[in-house]
Amino acid sequence: MPAHSSSPIPAGLGQLTDAVPLLPAEHPDLLDCLAAVPDPRRAKGRRHPLAFVLALAACAVLAGAKSLAAIAEWAADAPTTALTALGAPSREPTGPTAPAEATV
């Protein structure tokens, strides 16, 4: 007898079959959703907005990163155009920078 899957993903996907598709104007942008996440960090010493760190982590995981070190490595290798598009603060003259692994 095969074991039952403990993952709730197949059951959750079944709920999407009856969902009405949204129009492009009806769904929020990922960065807007991430900006709504409360930042538990102290204000002192923050170099990167939380929404930017979360967006980088999401992109890295989608690209195959499976650990914090891999996420930080992906972020460090990301081109400046990607960092800017994800909301990185620009620091002149060096431009946008990725967060360190400790921040991730």
Tens digit of each residue's pLDDT (9 = 90 or more) over 39-71: 888 888 778 889 999 999 999 999 999 999 999
Q: What is the pLDDT of residue 5?
A: 56
2 pLDDT more than 70: no
- Neighbouring residues of 98: CB distance < 8 A, sequence distance ≥ 6: 56, 72, 75, 76, 78, 83, 88
Residue 6 pLDDT greater than 80, yes or no: no
CA distances from 104 to 1, 45, 50, 52 (A): 42, 14, 10, 10
Give the global pTM: 0.70
Range of the domain at 34: 23-96
**Do the domain assignments include residue 8?**
no
Domains identified in the chain, total number: 1
Quick check: is 102 in a domain? no
Query: How far apart are alpha carbons 6 and 3 in whole angstroms?
Result: 9
